[in-house]
Amino acid sequence: MRILSGIQPSGKLHLGNYFGMMRPALQLQEKGEAYLFIANYHALTSVHEPARLRQDTLDVALDFLACGLDPERTVFFRQSDVPEVHELAWLLSVVTPMGLLERCHSYKDKTAKGIAPMHGLFAYPVLMAADILIYQSNVVPVGRDQKQHVEVTRDIAVKFNNEFGEVFTIPEPFIPGEVAVVPGLDGQKMSKSYGNTIELFGEPKEAKARIMKIVTDSKGLEEPKDPAACNIFALYKLFANDAQRAEMEANYRGGNYGYGHAKKALAAIFEETFAPFRARRDELRKNMDYVEEVLRKGAERARVESSKTVDRARRAVGLV
């Protein structure tokens, strides 16, 4: 089973990224042949500062390696180090219906938020389809709100196969059942665009300060509280084991347990989880040659597979 994941280097990674994409991807490296790429071509739809893009790309590499990515088990690479993906994106674009792209909610959502309409943003799903299909991926882990991306890829692959012959594996979306939408400080989905994030590798004091700003209702210390309706508990249970979750639930329902207590417990379990990762990241930063070597070797492995697929696609359409 070949598993593909990708993440954009468009800012500091946060808890929403970790629980929504990073941790499931790291767990899946134990389940099959994992490919994980840093989607720096995709990031160009929102990042037009070259120095920032370079730094954010390296930061993502550091973050994944610090959190447990094993480059022996996962083919880890920069998207831009596999240029074949753009040739395949063009070959796919000649069979992609305009109506399919017009129905994609990602384009609508981003332009509704004020992002300028552009071809790159509109054609984003075709490049994403190329990312997935070029490695003949079987499984693509996604959040529930991203399932449409894989469905579009499947539609494009089926249309190409029907037109030119069986070239592509039809991928399946994998939605980790235990991963919910990660709430931000304000209760909305945690997102850089909302400014409601908790960074994975910011200063510990800053992380704690942001946790203490999580929005709650106005119930007093003595009053019983509903853990299911609380953003603090929603975040805490992502870290906690069964016993820890049960203890906090009992504290909420028993009264004499304030939101300040819950925030301090969340800050403590956050630091307990990420302190070892932070130490590992600090060590990796001292050896960026190693990080670059991991990405270079990953790209070499990825290009072996990408070249095979592009050759098949070129032959299928008549370019060879």
Q: What is the pLDDT of residue 146?
A: 77
Instruction: Select which of 12, 147, 159, 192 is catalytic.
Output: 192
Residue type, position 38, single letter = I
User: Distance (Å, rounded) from C-alpha 244 to C-alpha 240?
Assistant: 6
Q: What is the pLDDT of residue 178?
A: 56
Examine the residue annotation and report whether 147 is marked as an active-site residue of this protein.
Answer: no
Q: What is the pLDDT of residue 180?
A: 60
User: Distance (Å, rounded) from C-alpha 86 to C-alpha 84?
Assistant: 5
* pTM value surpassing 0.85: yes
From the list 275, 276, 277, 245, the residue with the least C-alpha distance to 262 is 245
Return contacts of 225-230, CB within 8 angstroms, 24+ apart: 225/252, 225/253, 225/255, 225/257, 225/259, 226/252, 226/253, 227/252, 227/253, 230/259, 230/262
Instruction: Report helix, strand or coil for 219.
Output: coil
Instruction: Select which of 12, 147, 159, 189 is catalytic.
Output: 189
Residue type, position 61, single letter = A
User: Distance (Å, rounded) from C-alpha 6 to C-alpha 144?
Assistant: 16
For 75, half-sphere exposure in the C-beta direction (CA atoms, 13 angstrom radius) is 21
Per-residue pLDDT tens digits for 37-46: 999 999 999 8
Q: Which residues pair with 141 in a beta bridge?
A: 174
Enumerate domains of the chain plus CATH numbers.
Answer: 2-180+288-317 (3.40.50.620), 202-282 (1.10.240.10)
Residue 174 φ then ψ, to 5°: -120, 115
Residues in the chain, total: 320
Examine the residue annotation and report whether 192 is marked as an active-site residue of this protein.
Answer: yes
Encoding tokens for residue 24? 């499931």
51 contacts: CB under 8 Å, gap ≥ 6: none
**What residue has token string 């290009």?**
303
Residue type, position 182, single letter = V
Instruction: Select which of 110, 225, 237, 263 is catalytic.
Output: 110
In tens digits, what is the pLDDT along the chain, a chain of 320 residues?
Answer: 999 999 999 889 999 999 988 998 898 888 889 999 999 999 999 899 999 999 999 999 999 999 999 999 999 999 999 999 999 999 999 999 999 999 988 888 888 877 788 999 999 999 999 999 999 999 998 877 678 889 999 999 999 999 999 999 999 988 776 556 799 999 999 988 789 999 999 999 999 999 999 999 999 999 999 999 999 999 999 999 999 999 999 999 999 999 999 999 999 999 999 999 999 999 999 999 999 999 999 999 999 999 999 999 999 999 98
User: Distance (Å, rounded) from C-alpha 317 to C-alpha 320?
Assistant: 8
Examine the residue annotation and report whether 308 is marked as an active-site residue of this protein.
Answer: no
